[in-house]
Structure 1
Amino acid sequence: MKTSTGKRLRDTLLVSSLLVSALMIATPSQAEDAKPTRVRGAITAVEGDLLKVHSNRGEDLQINLTKETQVRGVTLAQVSEIKPGSYIGSAAVPQADGTLKALEVHVFPPEMAGTGDGHRAFDLGKDSTMTNGSVGDLVTSNGRTITVNYKGGQKKIVIPDDVPIVNLVPADRSLLKPGVKVVLQAQKTDDGALNAVSISAGENGVTPPM
């Protein structure tokens, strides 16, 4: 009797251990699936709620527009439009002195302040990062250097003269037309389809640099 009870206990513990192991293996994959996909490219067609995009990687993708899809325009800006208190984002790469060298800078409208606040890895190039935050100090006399403050940290970003600077502006689906360059984030559904979460679309031929 005791032997039977002990065997059942061992079997129960073994099954529990296997379930925990399976969950630990499955969780990273599920988390990866939940991460939005970033697509850079040009719109080739718009058919109702279906957006067709030729990506910079040579893929022809079909992306669904939903009621929740956010659309914003991308327009050219000048460094003079960046002021202390401006809320900006910048893809950049680290430099030996601890500063970041901007690959691009995008200026958010006031109503989007706080969007994506923080500093994280990005996919614009090798070792690239994305920093979103409020501009503190701004130096334009000796090079162009900005201090960006975000919750829990601060970064100094050097903006070379040839780096694109753009504004993000409110927009709607009327901006989505064949030929328009876009950077979008899409969520993959259970059946493998892509639903657009947000779309940054260039106005007047602008290529979103982020």
Structure 2
Amino acid sequence: MSLKIRFGVGLATLVIASAAFAQTPAAKPTRIRGEIVSLTGDTLTVHRRSGDTVTIDVKSGVPVSAVKNIKLADIKPGSFVGTAATTGTDGKLTATEVLVFPEAARGTGEGHYAWDLGPNSSMTNANVDSVVEGTSGRDLKLSYKGGSNSVTVPENVPVVTFAPAARSDLISGKKVFVVASPVSGTQFVAQRVLVEKDGVVPPM
């Protein structure tokens, strides 16, 4: 397989994986955050941050990706980002993480909606119209179909983009973020998986 073909396949996988952050409220996916206990065949066992342990069917075609750190300065006007944020008592948004999408994934999950990362958490997938240095970090002016808002990104907030990963990276002790469909009780079927790699934990 040529380098060009391998790159194309890898980028396609990342674009598919990017939908993990693009689910609209209507889809109501289950987002599983936790630590891998084991992978046996297609069964991924994860101890969730909530304290329980679940099993997830990860079929051979399910995309597995990772994230890598980039700099806050890498967010430029024209970037397409997904940012989880909390709403303060003043109504202003403060980012808890920012994902910079690859250009091929521009428009994925565009909009502003509730997120389950914590109290008063939201997700905004949008175009960056402007970046302004503020007293508490960088202020991003974001626009999306049907609206716009601004979010402050503190200097210590994780800023990431996608990186390649494989099933072989699904090893005990690694942190994961899994978007999955519930089957029953503690059983799920994975739609896509983001796994810790090179010490970088999926922050979303």
Q: 1:122 aligns to what?
A: 115
The superposition leaves residues 159-191 of structure 1 with CA deviations (integer Å, 9 ceiling, x where unpaired) of 112212121234332322222211111101369
CA distance in 1, matches of 2:190, 2:84: 22
Within the candidate set 33, 41, 44, 2:34 is matched to 41
1:74-127 CA distance string (max 9 Å, x none): 111210221112111111112355431111111122222222211001111111
Q: How far apart in 2 are the matches of 1:168 and 1:140?
A: 25
What amino acid does structure 2 have at the position aligned with 1:44?
A: V
- 2:202 is aligned with 1:208: yes
Checking the alignment, whether the CA contact within 8 Å between 2:55 and 2:188 is kept in structure 1 is yes
Q: 1:166 aligns with which of 154, 160, 170?
A: 160
Could you tell me whether the CA contact under 8 Å between 1:46 and 1:177 is conserved in 2?
yes
Contact 1:64 1:195 in 2 (8 A): yes
Task: Read off the aligned partner of 1:55 and give its amino acid letter.
Answer: R
* Counterpart-to-counterpart distance in 2, 1:185 and 1:114: 19
Alignment correspondent of 1:79: 72
Unaligned runs of 5+ in 1: 1-31
User: What is the aligned residue count?
Assistant: 178
Greater Rg by CA: 1
> Structure 1 length as normaliser, TM-score?
0.77
Q: Which residue of 1 aligns with 2:11?
A: none
**Which one of 178, 182, 190 corresponds to residue 188 of structure 1?**
182
Counterpart residue number, 1:25: none
DSSP 3-state at the match of 2:50: coil
Of 184-193 and 110-119, more deviation after overlay is shown by 184-193
- Which structure dedicates a bigger proportion of its chain to helix? 1
How far does residue 38 in structure 1 lie from its aligned partner after superposition? Answer: 0.9
Q: How does 1:83-94 map to 2 (within 5 A)?
A: 83-94=76-87
Give the letter for the 1:51 counterpart.
L
Q: CA deviation at 1:201?
A: 1.4
Higher strand share: 2
TM-score (norm. length: structure 2): 0.79
Structure 2 CA distance for aligned equivalents of residues 198 and 156 of structure 1: 29
Q: Percent identity, aligned pairs only? A: 42
The yes-or-no answer on 1:198 pairing with 2:192 is: yes
